[in-house]
């Protein structure tokens, strides 16, 4: 199985940590982030699209969901959008295209605001 999760996490985390050194970036969902802002990266699809004659997978349609969380009482939308712009640049650099963004995704804890973006690409 082609699995670009670690490469995506490494690149996105490096891009975010330059302007936001205290940000937490996880390659999985977390119920209680250690600090804010927080970013989670989830691989939500990995469908095989091609294989070689020796039955080795050599292409997959891959999709990621990236959630950006902020607990700021004031300015959380600005912070989430700024981080989402960094994520967008990093994902586009790796060949992914954004398929959706929701700046006000529902969250269980209403004091923590969430932005959700999804990206997809053909990985070979």
Question: What is the per-residue pLDDT across 61-70, written as a single tens digit (0 to 9) for each?
Answer: 999 999 999 9
Q: pTM to 2 decimals? A: 0.92
**How much of the chain exceeds pLDDT 90, in percent?**
81
Specify the length of the chain in residues: 124
* CB-CB neighbours of 61 under 10 Å: 14
pLDDT band at 1 (very low <50, low <70, confident <90, very high): confident
CB 115 within 8 A of CB 81: yes
Q: For residue range 70-98, what is the model confidence (pLDDT) as tens digits?
A: 999 999 999 999 999 999 999 999 999 99
What is the rounded distance in angstroms from the CA atom of residue 18 to the CA atom of residue 22? 10
Across residues 11-28, what is the average pLDDT?
97
Could you tell me if 6 and 35 are in contact, meaning their C-beta atoms sit under 8 angstroms apart? Answer: no
**What ranges do the domains of the chain cover?**
5-123
- How far, in Å, CA of 75 to CA of 70, rounded? 9
In CATH, the number for domain 5-123 is 3.30.2000.10
């Amino acid at each position: 199985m082609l699995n670009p999760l670690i490469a995506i996490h490494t690149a996105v985390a490096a891009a975010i940590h330059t302007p936001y050194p205290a940000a937490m970036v996880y390659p999985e969902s977390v119920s209680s982030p250690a600090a804010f802002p927080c970013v989670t990266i989830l691989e939500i699809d990995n469908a095989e699209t091609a294989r070689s004659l020796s039955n080795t997978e050599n292409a997959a349609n891959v999709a990621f969901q990236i959630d950006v969380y902020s607990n700021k009482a004031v300015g959380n939308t600005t912070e989430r959008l700024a981080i989402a712009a960094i994520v967008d640049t990093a994902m586009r650099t790796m060949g992914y295209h954004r398929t959706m963004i929701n700046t006000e995704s529902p969250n269980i804890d209403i004091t923590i605001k969430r932005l959700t973006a999804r990206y997809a690409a053909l990985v070979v």
